[in-house]
Amino acid sequence: MKTIIYSPGDPAGIGPDLFLSLLNEDFFRFIKANVVCIGDQKLFASRAKELGYSFEISTFTDINDVNEKVGCLEIMKCPDISSGRLNSINSEYVIKNLDFGIDACMKSKGLGLVTGPISKENIVEGGYSFSGHTERIMEKTNSDDVLMLLASERLKVALATTHMPLNKVSESVTTDLIINKVKILNQELKSKFNIEKPKISLLGLNPHAGEGGKLGKEEIEIIIPAVKELIASNVDVSMPLSADTAFNKNLLDETDAYFAMYHDQGLPVLKALSFGDSINITLGVPIVRTSVDHGVALDIAGKGIANNSSLKNAFYAADNLI
């Protein structure tokens, strides 16, 4: 039987709340896989009480001994189980839960990982070098490259660079990087989404895609050479497009996935169109990992008003991909 591991992210945020809300709705009857939520049992009991839920949660003692549809597995105690208030003392707890999920999936093809929202700032304040789930998964799986893809029914957006300051993006975008990541995107669109010949719309780095070199040379010197090599290797990818017009309706209808140069270039459009309904999928790694499209939402943690649509979609996707 296949199993989905859920790492809820920061205990102060809505990651635990969303899992409990899905239990309350009996959502997991729609999932073919067993579901194991990693975390402190006292945290879930406390949060369930805070949210007004009266059910009890089954517990597992070993990931290899799952004998019920849904339950929790405790790796370590959570130092601070309160909602709505970040505490860097929880950093080790968050990282250990995440790492356990990654390691377990590496050991078995029958496992997949769904992750809840993490506060990167809080993890760093706790003493860890951490820039995001995607980068941590790449490191833990010893993968040569990794690709972040945000996906909804409306569109898919992959990123050349992920969580880095904007002033470092230009120097990080290289011809080899574009070639490697677009090849990952092309292959994974075929294997994971059953798109026979993906059509990829690639965004330029500069305004108006550099406007012939007048607004930046990266398109001419870095991006176009990469695109030409990709086309020569039979990848259907566009020449660099101006990001301000690339998401018009006609092109959106013709595109299977967009390839953006940096985090806030393509994702604002996706989240404007599909926030709460999109998911994050890690491509190019030897495990199945999906995630929600939102943050920890401290202001609504413990209040029972968090929207669980993105987590539902993340579970559906993991269930299909394992």
Q: Where are the domains of the chain?
A: 1-143+285-322, 145-283
pLDDT class for 65, splitting at 50, 70, 90?
A: confident
Beta-carbon contacts of 194 under 8 Å, excluding residues fewer than 6 positions away, are: none
Q: Tell me the pairing of strands 156-159 and 279-283.
A: unpaired
> What are the tokens at 315?
């579970």
**Per residue in 185-239, pLDDT tens?**
999 999 999 999 999 999 999 999 999 999 999 999 999 999 999 999 999 999 9
- pLDDT at residue number 163: 85
CA proximity to 272, closest of 149, 134, 154: 154
pLDDT at 322 over 80: yes
Do domains 1-143+285-322 and 145-283 share one topology? The answer is yes
> Which SS3 state, helix, strand or coil, does residue 222 take?
helix
277 or 182: which leads in pLDDT: 182
CA proximity to 290, closest of 17, 72, 50, 33: 33
CATH topology (fold) of 145-283: Isopropylmalate Dehydrogenase (3.40.718)
How far, in whole angstroms, is CA 293 from its chain's centroid?
7
114/322 Cα distance (integer angstroms): 11
In the chain, count H helices and then E strands.
12, 12
pLDDT at 316 over 90: yes
- pLDDT at residue number 64: 82
- pLDDT at residue number 245: 96
- pLDDT at residue number 275: 80
- pLDDT at residue number 78: 98
189/196 Cα distance (integer angstroms): 8
What CATH architecture does domain 1-143+285-322 belong to?
A: 3-Layer(aba) Sandwich (3.40)
pLDDT at 67 over 80: no
- pLDDT at residue number 55: 87
CA proximity to 39, closest of 10, 4, 2: 10
**Per residue in 192-206, pLDDT tens?**
999 999 999 999 999
- pLDDT at residue number 56: 85
Q: Tokens 């990123």 correspond to what residue?
A: 159
Beta-carbon contacts of 85 under 8 Å, excluding residues fewer than 6 positions away, are: 12, 298
- Backbone CA torsion sign across 221, 226, 232, 236: negative
Query: pTM of the predicted model, to two decimals?
Result: 0.91
